[in-house]
Amino acid sequence: ITTTTIKTITVSLPYQCSSYITINDSTHNVAYGGGAGTIIVKSAPSINHCGTAAPGWYSGIYPSAIGSTTTGMVCYNANNNTCKWNNSISITNCTTFYVFALFAPPTCNLRYCTT
């Protein structure tokens, strides 16, 4: 007879996992016409997507551990340069979804692009 013991680990989720604003604007979606999207895209979208001339994409790694937060960089694709502008954001893994701490892009006509 084989006996297996499973250890249960309780993780306290950070504040941002229960206090956040949901963006429902579907014009941010790289596919435009779908829902608003739940994550920032991980590769450079073509220019003139996501309701802007210079769409933003996340160039970092999403946090894998539940309750952890990662800081990374969003790049904006414009003028044949996939990272013409950039800014930092934070992403928290809230078990079944991510919460993004977004900041104003560094110049006009830039937007975060989702999927």
pLDDT digits 0-9 by tens, 33-88: 789 999 999 999 999 999 999 999 999 999 999 999 999 999 999 999 999 999 99
pLDDT of 7 reads 77
**Rg for the chain, CA atoms, rounded:** 17
What is the tens place of the pLDDT at every residue in 97-109?
999 999 999 999 9
Q: pTM above 0.85? A: yes
Cα–Cα distance for residue pair 94/92, rounded to 1 Å: 6
Are 63 and 92 spatial neighbours (Cβ–Cβ below 8 Å)? yes
**pLDDT confidence band for 4 (50 / 70 / 90):** low
The whole-number pLDDT of residue 63 equals 97
pLDDT at 48: 94
What SS3 state is found at 75?
A: strand
Cα separation values, 79 from 21, 40, 87, Å: 32, 21, 18
Answer yes or no: is pLDDT of 6 > 90: no
